[in-house]
């Protein structure tokens, strides 16, 4: 069931992924597949805007760990912005925030990734 979609743009060398909907295994695979493709093309900076994703599950988030892992070998960066409080809490419990910066909004994130 595709209750999830994403939009991709590139701005100042940052791949901006804007998600929409429930980040479950399907959503996680969509994001990871896109990011891994971009990494293979040489992209190193990623920002995920989750403003329109107010619900996640641990399977979807755990798939994103693959992207963190891949970026570690390339000195790349992944960051998140506009997280719903429960999504941010989930990321903290899972330790995602140890490996990825979390910004309040897209503007702050772009400044931080510059």
Partner 1 sequence: MSTNPKVELTLPVMENMELAATKTAEVVAKSMGLDEMKTAEINMALIEACINAFEHSKSKENIYITYSIDGDTLTIKVGDKGEGFDSEVVAIPNIDEKINSEHKRGWGLQLMKELMDTVEFESSESGTTVTMTKNK
CA-nearest of 45, 55, 51, 41 to 81 is 51
Binding site for partner 1 (CB under 8 A): 1, 3, 22, 24, 54-59, 61-63, 65-66, 68-69, 72, 84-86, 89-90, 93-96, 98-99
- The burial of 64, by beta-carbon neighbours within 10 Å (0-12 exposed, 13-18 middle, 19 or more buried), is given as buried
Q: Which is nearer to partner 1, 22 or 101 (CB)?
A: 22
In whole angstroms, the minimum distance from the beta carbon of 114 to partner 1 comes to: 26
Tell me how far apart the alpha carbons of residues 4 and 71 are, in angstroms, rounded to a whole number: 24
Please, what is the minimum distance in Å from the beta carbon of residue 26 to partner 1?
8
Which CB sits closer to partner 1, 16 or 23?
23
């Amino acid at each position: 069931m595709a209750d999830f979609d994403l939009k991709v743009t590139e701005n100042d060398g940052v791949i901006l992924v804007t998600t929409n909907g429930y980040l479950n295994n399907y959503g996680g695979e969509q994001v990871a597949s896109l990011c891994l493709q971009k990494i293979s093309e040489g992209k190193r900076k990623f920002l995920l805007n989750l403003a329109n994703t107010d619900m996640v599950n641990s399977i979807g988030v755990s798939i994103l760990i693959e992207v963190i892992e891949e970026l570690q070998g390339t000195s790349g960066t992944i960051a998140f912005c506009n997280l719903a409080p429960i999504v941010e809490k989930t990321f903290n419990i899972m330790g995602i925030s140890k490996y990825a910066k979390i910004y309040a909004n897209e503007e702050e994130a772009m400044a931080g990734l510059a």
